[in-house]
């Protein structure tokens, strides 16, 4: 077995190390530093290779060097840190006006080889994945050798069924080793994966499959989450009925429940068992597509954000190492689902490229009880723990006992991501979970940025961390704040629209099939800059604090959702001519959706309609998208040109009616008292609205 696999690894590598090319396995590369502890301080990183030399200096010096000349900074790192078939000849080409960014041009490599083969060759028995299954107390460990084998068998299965380089493959799976192998199998053969979070409805799944014209879907018979069964295959069946591009559906068995397989369906494990455990990697250009991931924007249609090979891989691996101070043999615990970008960058690609051990958390924070995270930390001896503020807000309500009863002495770094973290949650995480001795990093980034852009680390050991803010730009990240007139705001203690001035390797390259939309969404508002969609404050000390979205995008429990997306599906109800959705602060979710709907006069039971529109949102988008409140109103506030003034609705719900701002453009001001009355009536009957 060991022989066969090491032969497999060698075959794959020798394919990369073609005659005449420089050796691609220098002894001093990240993943293969067999025993050397990768140092945490940035300065001592610098003994290896040319790229490593470029990391000499303190945080400030490195940041300035990278910001001044991002090309050479990242170019040297890419050469040193990644395993190339052909090294690149040009570091970076960019033109923000055209939304065009290219990194490491001329370079050729394979991402799966970087994430697997090199580690399987150096340390085949090192654990790559620890699968923390939904069933409490059960875990499975997968070594690099095993993951490489699984990936190759899966890659061969895809190939046998006609999946080729450039084809798109949708994944609708629970967090599991097979899901990771499926992502890497696509990367190995040059196919493009698009992971769809397994909580999305059949209709959402179908929309994504059709937009990207996927040739295949990989799923499981069922999923398990918090002890409940999720009918994944059923949802896929519903979805693919309207997806003509799908030729086959690979079905893995997560539970023992037997399901009927139709003509298009292929039993995944059975087929994998028949395939060889080696698979020659497809050599890809740096700028070939690696994956796409759909995320919400301010229109009703989700955007397929495209990431490419080398730049994304380098950025996710490098930030993983330096923001979390990841050292070899550490156990990295990011509890995000692989259906989101956090799962892509910090469960799969970053940690695996670094030869790390990464936890796959399949369950929920409160199953079987609110001690689940901390019991897992104790049992798996997790060193870095990365989660969302919404989970912390939920858990702190259950009290400290659930935390304190478990041993958390393995923890060194804690991280939070997805939404602004409030002070109470930050302090609880730091004091109670981390016992006041762990570094806590609030990390700001986006699906579009590929990896962390603003976080308290890297910075010198012991450098101050201000609670509950993201603070410092990562190397090569050049944040700027803009005012309403599109002018850059200088100085400190100022707020504005958060933009980034120069490219970094992890930035998204386009929106699949719609580059114009990419330009409009990110490069039009502030010409020459990447606009994040977020607002930020630069403190007196010059640190960044993210204040939240500036567009019509909600952040519900750390998940992005466009108000237009919810409105569009509610509008499909025949008795509902118009709707307006707004976000309001929510104790646990951070933000929640409140929907105002107008119901046709001749509707006999408007109350029924509120239930029906909720059901529509669940079935057309996802359960988490269902508004917490649906209120029937006679009219919506509109400008004379017919634009809905959501700002007024937001003020009514957040209790700011004394300050409605400029209402001179409002068509009929009497609508305001009308809505306030309806709202107050509703609130009086609804205890969840304070």
List residues binding ligand WT7 (CB under 6 A). Answer: 295, 340-342, 417-420, 442-447, 470, 532-534, 546, 549, 555, 560
* Residue with smaller CB distance to ligand WT7, 65 or 549: 549
* Residue with smaller CB distance to ligand WT7, 281 or 456: 456
For residue 447, the 8-state DSSP code is G
* Residue with smaller CB distance to ligand WT7, 349 or 596: 349
* Residue 33 buriedness (CB in 10 A; 0-12 / 13-18 / 19+): middle
* Residue with smaller CB distance to ligand WT7, 327 or 559: 559
- In the complex, the smallest distance separating the C-beta of residue 607 from ligand WT7, rounded to whole angstroms, is 34
Measured CA to CA, the distance from residue 258 to residue 253 in angstroms comes to 8
- In the complex, the smallest distance separating the C-beta of residue 512 from ligand WT7, rounded to whole angstroms, is 16
- In the complex, the smallest distance separating the C-beta of residue 296 from ligand WT7, rounded to whole angstroms, is 8
- In the complex, the smallest distance separating the C-beta of residue 102 from ligand WT7, rounded to whole angstroms, is 22
Contact 284, 190 (CB under 8 A): yes
As given in the structure block, the two tokens for residue 634 are 């006679």
* Residue with smaller CB distance to ligand WT7, 308 or 443: 443
Contact 142, 150 (CB under 8 A): yes
Contact 103, 512 (CB under 8 A): no
- In the complex, the smallest distance separating the C-beta of residue 31 from ligand WT7, rounded to whole angstroms, is 24
As given in the structure block, the two tokens for residue 416 are 């939070």
Residue nearest to ligand WT7 as judged by C-beta position: 447
- In the complex, the smallest distance separating the C-beta of residue 190 from ligand WT7, rounded to whole angstroms, is 26
- Cβ contacts of 382 within 8 Å, gap of 6 or more: 331, 332, 333, 359, 376, 410, 411
* Residue with smaller CB distance to ligand WT7, 430 or 444: 444
* Residue with smaller CB distance to ligand WT7, 239 or 561: 561
Contact 476, 287 (CB under 8 A): no
Contact 101, 92 (CB under 8 A): yes
Strands 139-143 and 108-109: unpaired
C-alpha Rg value of the chain to the nearest Å: 25
- In the complex, the smallest distance separating the C-beta of residue 560 from ligand WT7, rounded to whole angstroms, is 4
Ramachandran category for residue 295: left, alpha or beta (phi over 0 → left; psi -120 to 50 → alpha): beta
- In the complex, the smallest distance separating the C-beta of residue 415 from ligand WT7, rounded to whole angstroms, is 9
Helical H runs in 93-176?
A: 111-112, 118-122, 144-160
* Residue with smaller CB distance to ligand WT7, 471 or 633: 471
Q: How many CA atoms lie less than 13 Å away from 38 in the CB half-sphere?
A: 24
* Residue with smaller CB distance to ligand WT7, 157 or 545: 545
* Residue with smaller CB distance to ligand WT7, 101 or 283: 101
- In the complex, the smallest distance separating the C-beta of residue 379 from ligand WT7, rounded to whole angstroms, is 26
Query: DSSP string of 386-413?
Result: EE-HHHHHHHHTT-SHHHHTS--TT--E
- In the complex, the smallest distance separating the C-beta of residue 418 from ligand WT7, rounded to whole angstroms, is 4
- In the complex, the smallest distance separating the C-beta of residue 323 from ligand WT7, rounded to whole angstroms, is 12
* Residue with smaller CB distance to ligand WT7, 457 or 573: 457
Measured CA to CA, the distance from residue 485 to residue 491 in angstroms comes to 17
- In the complex, the smallest distance separating the C-beta of residue 447 from ligand WT7, rounded to whole angstroms, is 3
* Residue with smaller CB distance to ligand WT7, 272 or 323: 323
Contact 581, 594 (CB under 8 A): yes
Contact 373, 395 (CB under 8 A): yes
Q: Over 267-324, what HEC string results?
A: EHHHHHHHCCCCCCCCCEECCCEEEEEEECCCCCCCEEEEEECHHHHHHHHHHHHHHC
| Beta-bridge mates of residue 248 | 216
Contact 331, 380 (CB under 8 A): yes
Contact 279, 189 (CB under 8 A): yes
* Residue with smaller CB distance to ligand WT7, 443 or 579: 443
- In the complex, the smallest distance separating the C-beta of residue 324 from ligand WT7, rounded to whole angstroms, is 14
Q: Is 453 helix (H, G, I), strand (E, B) or coil?
A: coil
* Residue with smaller CB distance to ligand WT7, 420 or 506: 420
Contact 320, 345 (CB under 8 A): yes
- In the complex, the smallest distance separating the C-beta of residue 530 from ligand WT7, rounded to whole angstroms, is 12
630-656 burial by CB neighbour count: b if 16+ within 10 A, else e? bbbbeebbbeeeeebbbebbebbbeee
* Residue 382 buriedness (CB in 10 A; 0-12 / 13-18 / 19+): buried
């Amino acid at each position: 077995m060991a022989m066969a696999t090491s032969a497999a690894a060698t075959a794959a590598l020798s394919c990369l190390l073609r005659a005449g090319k420089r050796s691609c396995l220098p002894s001093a590369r990240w993943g293969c530093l067999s025993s050397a502890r990768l140092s945490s301080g940035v300065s001592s990183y610098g003994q290896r290779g040319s790229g490593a030399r470029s990391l000499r200096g303190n945080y400030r010096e490195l940041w300035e060097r990278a910001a001044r000349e991002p090309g050479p900074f990242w170019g040297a790192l890419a050469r040193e840190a990644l395993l190339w078939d052909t090294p690149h000849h040009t570091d970076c080409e960019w033109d923000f006006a055209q939304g065009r960014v290219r990194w490491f041009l001329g370079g050729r490599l394979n991402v799966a080889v970087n994430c697997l083969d090199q580690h399987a060759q150096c340390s085949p028995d090192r654990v790559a994945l620890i699968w923390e299954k939904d069933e409490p107390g059960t875990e499975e460990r997968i070594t690099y050798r095993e993951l490489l084998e699984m990936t190759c068998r899966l890659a061969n299965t895809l190939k046998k069924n006609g999946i080729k380089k450039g084809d798109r493959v949708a994944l609708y799976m629970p967090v599991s080793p097979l899901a990771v192998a499926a992502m890497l199998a696509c990367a190995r053969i040059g196919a493009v994966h698009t992971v769809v979070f397994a909580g999305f409805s059949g209709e959402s799944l179908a929309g994504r499959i059709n937009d990207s014209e996927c040739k295949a879907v990989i799923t499981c018979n069922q999923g398990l989450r918090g002890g409940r069964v999720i009918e994944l295959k059923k949802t896929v069946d519903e979805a693919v009925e309207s997806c003509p591009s799908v030729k086959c559906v690979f079905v893995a068995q997560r539970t023992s429940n037997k399901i009927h397989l139709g003509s298009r369906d292929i039993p995944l494990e059975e087929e994998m068992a028949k395939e060889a455990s080696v698979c020659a990697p497809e050599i890809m250009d740096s700028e070939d597509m690696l994956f796409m991931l759909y995320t919400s924007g301010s229109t009703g249609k989700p955007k397929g954000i495209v990431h490419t090979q080398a730049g994304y891989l380098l950025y996710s691996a490098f930030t993983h190492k330096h923001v979390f101070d990841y050292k070899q043999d550490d156990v990295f615990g990011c509890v995000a689902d692989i259906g989101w970008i956090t799962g892509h960058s910090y469960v799969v690609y970053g940690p695996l490229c670094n030869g790390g051990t990464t936890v796959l958390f399949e369950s929920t924070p409160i199953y079987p009880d609110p001690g689940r995270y901390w019991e897992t930390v104790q049992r798996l001896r997790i060193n870095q723990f990365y989660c969302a503020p919404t989970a912390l807000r939920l858990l702190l309500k259950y009290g400290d006992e659930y935390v304190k009863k478990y041993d958390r002495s393995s923890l060194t770094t804690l991280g939070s991501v997805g939404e602004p973290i409030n002070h109470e949650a930050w302090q609880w995480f730091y004091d109670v979970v981390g016992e006041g001795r762990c570094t806590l990093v609030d990390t700001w980034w986006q699906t579009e940025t590929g990896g962390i852009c603003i976080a308290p680390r890297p910075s010198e050991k012991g450098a101050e961390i201000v609670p509950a803010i993201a603070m410092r730009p990562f190397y090569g990240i050049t944040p700027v704040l803009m005012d309403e007139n599109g002018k850059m705001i200088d100085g400190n203690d100022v707020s504005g629209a958060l933009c980034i001035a120069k490219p970094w390797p992890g930035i998204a390259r386009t929106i699949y099939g719609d580059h114009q939309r990419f330009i409009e969404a990110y490069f039009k508002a502030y010409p020459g800059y990447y606009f994040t969609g977020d607002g930020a404050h630069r403190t007196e000390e010059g640190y960044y604090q993210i204040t939240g979205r500036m567009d019509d995008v909600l952040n519900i429990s750390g998940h992005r959702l466009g108000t237009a997306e919810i409105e569009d599906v509610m509008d499909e109800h025949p008795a509902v001519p118009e709707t307006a959705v707004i976000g309001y602060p929510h104790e646990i979710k951070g933000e929640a959706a409140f929907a105002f709907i107008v119901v046709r006069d001749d509707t006999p039971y408007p109350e029924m309609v509120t239930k029906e529109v909720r059901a529509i949102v669940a079935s057309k988008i996802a359960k988490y998208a269902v508004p917490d409140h649906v209120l029937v109103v006679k009219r919506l506030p509109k400008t004379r040109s017919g634009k809905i003034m959501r700002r007024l609705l937001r003020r009514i719900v957040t209790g700011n009616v004394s300050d409605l701002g400029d209402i001179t453009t409002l068509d009929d001001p009497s609508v305001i008292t009308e809505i306030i009355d309806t709202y107050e009536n509703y609130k009086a009957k609804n205890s969840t609205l304070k």
